[in-house]
Amino acid sequence: MRLLIIGSLDGQIGAASQIAISRGAKVSHADDVAQGLEVLRSGKGADLVMIDVKRDVKSLVDQLAAERIIIPVVACGTSTDTQAAVRAIRAGAREYVPLPPDADLIAAVLAAVVEESHAIISSDPKMASVLKLADQVAPSDASILITGESGTGKELMARYIHRKSKRSAHPFIAVNCAAIPETLLESELFGHEKGAFTGAVARRLGKFEEAQGGTLLLDEISEMDVRLQSKLLRAIQEREIDRLGGGKPVKVDVRIIATTNRTLQDEVKKGTFREDLYFRLNVMTLLLPPLRERPKDIEVLARHFAKFYAQANGLPERSINDEALLQLKRFTWRGNVRELENAMHRAVLLASNGVIGPEAIVLTGSEGAPPSSADADSADRPTQNLIGRTVADVERELILDTLYHCLGNRTHAANILGISIRTLRNKLKQYGEEGYKVPPPGEGERAGL
């Protein structure tokens, strides 16, 4: 993990650095916001920024958003400076850490904010065979395409491969191609020189250079505009990139892992994905099976999430009774592991007497559940309540309800709805102009949507 500390932390920078280093972090330091931004633009990058609350936290957060540098910010200051803490949180800091630094508290912040635990929890033979194949291909430099439904853990698998590779000591950089507007994705990948376009206030190295020597994950690559795909193909083939506004190519050494929840062969036939890029990426394909095809993983994952969210919410550990487990195993999990995780988070909060029973399992659909007698009359006509409404009204309600369910995350909502992120953006823009309330972007997407 890479930690950037901005400011002196009231003279506690040495202590905070040592604590972070002892927890496995690589620490860099900048005296002020301007220097910190230069570090981030230079390609050194960071997974977390800790800033002295006496520095201009709002200026840092605003500039990160303006330059599309998506990094969580944690403010640090003396425990007696409560007003500064309030200002920092309002300015956009994710957390506030009191000084002098406490080892356990900093460790908890590092784990919670950056989510460094990327272990794959599984006991199902079908997933075991995928992990075995991942172990075989990880030491190579071959490009890997990871496919599977939304929520199956494609990014988790990419991180697993990186940790098993000979590049593990170098950066793992992820780019969500669906969450970044196509007009900005080129700059995000390849970087730009100062003045290359409106808003390019300084040179910034792109993700290819930031991942130098390591692994670059192109998440949801099927959403990348076909015009940009040609530049990506050249970067992979020639191992060099051109910064926007730059005068000469820059050599890069990265391993490419790409993910998609779509069938790229179908996208090639439709003309939305380049065939030559598909073959370049598809040296090795790993297909992650959906959760409904990994039945033995449901129980082990449910217990894992129950324990995790009990600890995260400061609650006693929750057990899961047999009736609740049966209910979980009967569900079809359209949202896969991500949906199971959300269900268990809710269950932990709703459980009574320290036990998760079926009453605490609130599922988002009726898959796998038998119809009740009250529903028998309408079971054969599930759309009867829609009669009299326009298709546009029903579509709008479905899209907005799905977006609320996904806590505003456009990428997840588009995947569930089976539409492209561009289509979803256009629909949401239309609804906003028509006066309907549209949920704000989810965490991690705010700067890009």
Top mean-pLDDT range of 44-58, 213-227, 419-433: 213-227
Q: What is the DSSP letter of 192?
A: B
Please choose, from the candidates 190, 194, 185, the residue with its C-alpha nearest in 3D space to the C-alpha of residue 243.
190
pLDDT at 377 over 60: no
Q: How confident is the model at residue 445 (pLDDT cuts 50, 70, 90)?
A: low
Could you tell me the strand order of the sheet in which 2-6 lies? 26-30, 2-6, 48-52, 73-78, 95-99
Contacts of 392 (CB under 8 A, 6+ apart): none
Residues 9 and 76 reside in one and the same domain: yes
Burial status of residue 131 (CB atoms within 10 A of its CB: 0-12, 13-18, 19 or more): middle
Task: Please indicate, yes or no, whether residues 208 and 139 belong to a single structural domain of this protein.
Answer: yes
Three-state DSSP state, 51 = strand
In total, how many domains does the chain have?
Answer: 3
Predicted pLDDT of residue 372 = 40
Torsion of CA 23, 25, 30, 36, to 10 degrees: -130
CATH code at 185?
A: 3.40.50.300
Largest CA distance in the chain: 72
Q: Which residues of 362-375 are buried (b: 16+ CB within 10 A; e: fewer)?
A: ebeeeeeeeeeeee
- When pLDDT is averaged across residues 290-302 and rounded to a whole number, the result is 94
Highest mean pLDDT among 45-59, 109-123, 140-154: 140-154
For residue 449, the model assigns a pLDDT of: 36
Is 219 among the domain residues?
yes
Cα 4 from Cα 44, distance rounded (Å): 10
Same domain for 282 and 296, yes or no, is no
Q: Which domain holds residue 340?
A: 291-370
3-state DSSP helix/strand/coil % of the chain, to nearest 5: 45, 15, 40
Say yes or no to pLDDT of 59 above 50. Answer: yes
Among 260, 287, 314, the domain-final residue is 287
**Are residue 174 and residue 255 in the same domain, yes or no?**
yes
What confidence tens digit (pLDDT) does each residue in 230-246 have? 999 999 999 999 999 98
In the chain, count of helices (H) and strands (E)? 18, 14
- Residue 130's pLDDT is 95
In a domain, residue 438? The reply is: no
Residue with tokens 């999430």: 305
| pLDDT at residue 379 in the model | 38
Prior bond of 100 cis (ω within 30°): yes
Instruction: Based on the fold, state whether residues 305 and 276 are members of the same structural domain.
Output: no
222 and 149 in a common domain? yes
Residue 248 inside a domain? The answer is: yes
Based on the fold, state whether residues 255 and 313 are members of the same structural domain.
Answer: no
Predicted confidence at residue 105, as pLDDT, reads 74
Supply the CATH number for residue 56's domain. 3.40.50.2300
**72 falls within a domain:** yes
Backbone angles phi, psi at 306, to 5 degrees: -60, -40
Query: Is 229 a domain residue?
Result: yes
Query: Cβ-count burial of 48 within 10 angstroms (0-12 exposed, 13-18 middle, 19+ buried)?
Result: buried
Same domain, 110 and 136: no
* Beta-carbon contacts of residue 340 (< 8 Å; ≥ 6 apart): 291, 298, 301, 302, 305, 328, 333
Which contacts qualify for 207-211: CB closer than 8 Å, 24 or more apart?
207/173, 207/175, 208/235, 208/241, 208/252, 208/254, 209/43, 209/241, 209/250, 209/252, 210/43, 210/44, 210/45, 210/171, 210/173, 211/170, 211/171, 211/172, 211/173, 211/252, 211/254
Alpha-carbon distance 42 to 23, whole Å?
Answer: 25
Q: What is the pLDDT of residues 378-410, one digit of tens each?
A: 334 445 455 566 788 788 888 988 887 777 788
Task: Answer yes or no: is 158 within a domain.
Answer: yes
Residue 331: band (very low, low, confident or very high) from pLDDT cuts 50, 70, 90:
very high
Asked if 159 and 249 sit in the same domain, the reply is yes
**Each residue of 193-208: pLDDT tens digit?**
988 887 788 888 999 9
The residue from 71, 88, 114 where one domain ends is 114
Q: Is 389 left (phi over 0), alpha (psi -120 to 50) or beta?
A: beta
| Beta-ladder partners of 129 | none
One domain, residues 168 and 275 = yes
Q: Is residue 417 part of a domain?
A: no
Is 161 in a helix, a strand, or coil? helix
Domain end, chosen from 220, 254, 287, is at: 287
442 falls in which pLDDT band (50, 70, 90)?
low
User: Is there a single domain that holds both residue 279 and residue 327?
Assistant: no
Q: 138 and 166: one domain?
A: yes
What confidence score (pLDDT) does residue 385 get? Answer: 53
Percent residues over pLDDT 90 in the chain? 47
Tell me the average pLDDT of the chain. Answer: 85
The answer to whether 197 and 34 are in contact (CB under 8 A) is: no
pLDDT-wise least confident of 340-349, 370-379, 398-407: 370-379
* pLDDT of amino acid 221: 96
Residues in CB range of 80: below 8 A, 6 or more apart = none
Q: Do the domain assignments include residue 241?
A: yes
pLDDT for residue 182: 79
Mean pLDDT of 279-289: 94
- CA atoms of 397 and 414, how far apart (whole Å): 14
CATH no. for residue 327? 1.10.8.60
Give the list of residues 6+ apart from residue 304 with CB closer than 8 angstroms, or none: 121
The reported pLDDT for the residue numbered 85 is 81
Categorize the per-residue pLDDT at 267 as very low, low, confident or very high, splitting at 50, 70 and 90.
very high
pLDDT over 50 (residue 149): yes
Q: Select the more confidently predicted residue: 390 or 335.
A: 335
Q: Can you tell me the mean pLDDT for 107-136?
A: 79
Residue with tokens 């901005």: 6
Q: Which two tokens stand for residue 39?
A: 């570090």
Lowest-confidence region among 31-45, 294-308, 411-425: 411-425
Q: Tokens for 1?
A: 């993990």
